[in-house]
Structure 1
């Protein structure tokens, strides 16, 4: 397993740091070590053919590989405090793992389980729920996701919670839930008479119908969940669900940006290697000025994406109040970079880049799916303008 820090780690999830230390934007020796270990791991286990094979499995990923990633390297528990069975690192270390997962197009529910569900539990401040679920998330024995968090902007969740004896039951539906068909635990934002609250539900076939959705990016499965009196327990404090949901979604955006940087890096590296080998008119096509300019454009946008992602990561790691702004900016920049990088990945590979046998189309699908996962870039721009106080009235 990846070696833990020897220094004492801050485990409180509610402490706020107003400013970001510029040194936190640079990669540490420990993070470089983690990146090297993961790069080797994914090279060995998650090539294009492996991805296609994992996509065809019932759970949509290789469960043995999932267990190895948790047990041998400890990725699942990187950002989980030690008191809950994790390694006690921060989101910064987890972002390194997400970059490498995005680069390899790793086909498993890291985003819904390790990012969304785990951080929703931590942000809720509910020690009982954290003690119950986080150790199993950290050791890889529990997969989890969130539902009804609604990044699309609806005012009310479609799922409602009703009293049933001394507990609660859920009714209603949540669509396009990440890993919804396979997750062992679902954290659900549901409407109650007192307002939206957060609930933990372990779905069973008797009370929850799960229908896989056909989506563009088959490496990231989604499903329709229909709750029919599913037992659930409350998570967090009364009235605190909306803050938990907002913080979780912004952390998800920072995580997705890290994935997109990794995927963009792969697309650029693979394309540079190919144009250095492909011959035309007796010389490598990479020597042509037009090709150089196109790749230079990708490199420039990729460096901008790295910067945006690094700042969002630092804000998430420090629990900074600047996270909403940083996450929105990273979502816009990294989505556009990934789209450009994958387009050039296909175009500059020529005819082979358009074939199903080549992995380029898998990255294109991931790019298109990721750019709308937590809201479109237009929505992020609108929210960003609101967050920084730039309105139509102030423009004058």
Structure 2
């Protein structure tokens, strides 16, 4: 007699007490080290990264090692905790290579660290926060669309946070290599990005040497795992952006008066903010579902990630656009941080695959005609 199939586990969309404690610690740190005037000044000075902020976040709080098991030098937490960190980073648009190093590069290495070796050693360094790494693929690469250089020769453009990385994980036709950012034959050239809080760069390799980490087959699997985690947890960053934009807009429209009334009391604006609140609540459910699916190793994780990205990227952009518009004239100034959130939301909307590509992925995964 065949045993009845077990129903799928219900995702846990709520925050645990430990997750809320982590949120409080990260929010307090960012309020102290990465408030709006500090971030604006850093982007205008072309020096967005603050090493002291990264040290406090990665080492002091231990956020860099959340996804790394304790036996490899990490905190042994999960994607749910990492998602909380990214929500807070989204709320502050702080320039920190957390998504690219502590999520994407770390997840890529985790797929290769089972037998020890150089991947495990590098993973321990990332978990400690003493070094950072990025996966050398364009920031717009979706989880199923990573390309590889033929050899350690050529140029890859649009790599997020490459300028701040110590190590570059380069997928090639011969496998995955770890290339030191300062190695002979490796040149990282900054590009002009839309989002100044997450700089892009081009990597040019010419006769460079690197440490081999994986065969071509294992490399492809590891890269897909890293990009899937990046896309899934990017939804939490987009949630943080949308939440800040809604909260700030509600606060401003309560304080701003016209015709001797708060502008937030005008019914047309109430409707717009109520609609935005509904979108943010839905985005929270989608982002938490993706984080929980990744944390539990659910077979539905690719679908949860695709759904989250298909929805959350549009919500973040809409929230940022409303924030700029409902702030009126001040929302169009460089002194107000609204433009940072709009640029981050716009840049995130094509990161790790556009919403359209993720809708196509959803259609394929559930075997429905693509839109």
Aligning the two structures, in what range does the TM-score lie when normalised by the shorter sequence?
A: over 0.9
RMSD: 2.1
Superposition deviation, residue 233 in structure 1: 2.1
Equivalent of 2:121 in 132, 154, 169: 132
Equivalent of 1:371 in 333, 343, 349: 349
- Cross-structure match for 2:213: 235
SS of the residue corresponding to residue 199 of structure 1 reads strand
Superposition deviation, residue 241 in structure 1: 1.9
1:316 and 2:320 correspond: no
By percentage of residues, which structure has more helix?
2
Equivalent of 1:225 in 203, 227, 233: 203
Q: How does 1:271-286 map to 2 (within 5 A)?
A: 271-286=249-264
- Cross-structure match for 1:189: 171
Native 8 Å contact 2:86 2:237 kept in 1: yes
TM-score by length of 2: 0.93
Paired residues in the alignment total: 364
Q: Aligned partners of 2:283 and 2:144: how far apart in 1?
A: 29
- Cross-structure match for 2:162: 180
Identify if the C-alpha distance between structure 1 residues 154 and 324 changes in structure 2 by more than 3 Å, giving closer, same or farther.
closer
- Cross-structure match for 2:284: 306
1:157 and 2:137 correspond: no
Q: Aligned partners of 2:210 and 2:198: how far apart in 1?
A: 26
Q: Aligned partners of 2:96 and 2:136: how far apart in 1?
A: 18
SS of the residue corresponding to residue 205 of structure 2 reads strand
- Cross-structure match for 2:3: none
Native 8 Å contact 1:77 1:139 kept in 2: yes
SS of the residue corresponding to residue 157 of structure 2 reads strand
Native 8 Å contact 2:34 2:94 kept in 1: yes
SS of the residue corresponding to residue 238 of structure 2 reads helix
Superposition deviation, residue 33 in structure 1: 0.9
Q: Aligned partners of 1:56 and 1:28: how far apart in 2?
A: 38
Superposition deviation, residue 37 in structure 1: 1.6
TM-score by length of 1: 0.87
SS of the residue corresponding to residue 164 of structure 2 reads coil
SS of the residue corresponding to residue 157 of structure 1 reads coil
SS of the residue corresponding to residue 209 of structure 2 reads strand
Superposition deviation, residue 300 in structure 1: 0.4
Q: Aligned partners of 1:58 and 1:217: how far apart in 2?
A: 12
Q: Aligned partners of 1:289 and 1:155: how far apart in 2?
A: 45
SS of the residue corresponding to residue 206 of structure 2 reads strand
Native 8 Å contact 1:34 1:96 kept in 2: yes
Higher mean displacement: 232-241 or 291-300: 232-241
Higher mean displacement: 313-322 or 262-271: 313-322
By percentage of residues, which structure has more strand?
1
Q: How does 1:113-128 map to 2 (within 5 A)?
A: 113-126=101-114, 127-128=116-117
Native 8 Å contact 1:124 1:237 kept in 2: no
Gap runs ≥5 in structure 2: 1-5
Q: How does 1:293-372 map to 2 (within 5 A)?
A: 293-372=271-350
Identify if the C-alpha distance between structure 1 residues 344 and 32 changes in structure 2 by more than 3 Å, giving closer, same or farther.
same
Identify if the C-alpha distance between structure 1 residues 234 and 48 changes in structure 2 by more than 3 Å, giving closer, same or farther.
same
